[in-house]
Amino acid sequence: MRRVRYESRGGPLFTEEAPAPEPGPGELLVRTEAIGVTLPVVRKVAESADPVPLGGEIAGEVTAVGEGVTRFGAGDRVTGLCFGHGYADFALLREAMASPVPADAGAVDAVALVRSGLVALGALEAARPEPSEAALMTAAASGVGHLAVQLARTRGAGRVVGAVSDPAKAGFVRDLGADHVVAYGDDGWGTPVDYALDAVGGTLLTPALAALAPGGRLVAYSSGGGSVQAYDLLVGAKSVIGFQMARIARGNPELYERWRRELWRLFAAGEIEPVVHGEFALEDAAKAHGEIEARANLGKVVLIP
């Protein structure tokens, strides 16, 4: 099979031939049909001192299962987060991380909707939104952010603000349902909001926190790090909440499954629509990473083996 990897920090990415893996206990072997490219994986290539497997969201057909697998069998179509080599013709997926793909849904829809949607929905749930509250989403044009904007609308947000890296993305974010769009470098982000979902981290935490009204909640779900000043929390009675999807998947599978069903329900009803920025061949993985590094993507970036 073909597999994409790299040998040193920063790449380059290259495709090689490798034997297909064998599923171990609790694992599924999946023939990949679509692979979602995520910012955390792009960052790992740029920052990790030692090369790591290129994992991420995958969708495809189960071809074999390991010992102890009970929910899936050969021929089932699944999607989920792969922690090993996911940029490949075949990938291993832990049963606990796998979700079924409806018969009438495509693999590209699955990788664009499920994992990114689960993160967006989970972060939204962590914010404890109330009807008519105002919401802010950073990285509002990203694979997760563009779904978060739509999900906030389904939860009755009274006003939705999208924050983006480039003002040229404003039209795209407004079309998703945002009332107002701001750029990261703008002085002030308009009327304060009740809660914010931050997908960027780093220095962006400061303006995101400043955008909150007194008593506001900031949900941080980025791998970008960063810090906030305790005084900034105290003076406005604000709070910061950390959210990690893997913790839910491993520790609360019933909730994970309920959120997954909700996403497919909203998708089928036309209330949310995942947007795919581009589909790239496996051999063009470096170009796909480049789109995210340049913050050029509007929606999800997908590899097609």
Q: What is the CATH number for 35?
A: 3.90.180.10
Q: Range of 34's domain?
A: 2-101+275-304
What is the pLDDT, as a whole number, of residue 97?
86
pTM of the model: 0.90
pLDDT tens digits along 54-93: 998 999 999 999 999 999 999 999 999 899 999 999 999 9
Residue 280 lies in a domain: yes
What is the pLDDT, as a whole number, of residue 263?
96
Residue 256 lies in a domain: no
CB 53 within 8 A of CB 7: no
Last residue of a domain, one of 203, 226, 245: 245
pLDDT tens digits along 154-178: 999 999 999 999 999 999 999 999 9
Residue 263 lies in a domain: no
CB 54 within 8 A of CB 36: no
CB 169 within 8 A of CB 183: no
Residue 59 lies in a domain: yes
Same domain, 159 and 125: yes
What is the pLDDT, as a whole number, of residue 68?
97
Position 223 pLDDT exceeds 90: no
Same domain, 175 and 238: yes
Q: How many domains are contained in the chain?
A: 2
Same domain, 10 and 82: yes
CB 60 within 8 A of CB 31: yes
Position 250 pLDDT exceeds 90: no
Mean pLDDT, residues 277-298 taken together: 95
Same domain, 83 and 203: no
Residue 257 lies in a domain: no
Position 40 pLDDT exceeds 90: no
pLDDT tens digits along 117-157: 999 999 999 999 999 999 999 999 999 999 999 999 999 99
Mean pLDDT, residues 90-108 taken together: 93
Last residue of a domain, one of 223, 245, 267: 245
Mean pLDDT, residues 201-229 taken together: 93
What is the pLDDT, as a whole number, of residue 63?
98
Same domain, 7 and 60: yes
Mean pLDDT, residues 100-123 taken together: 94
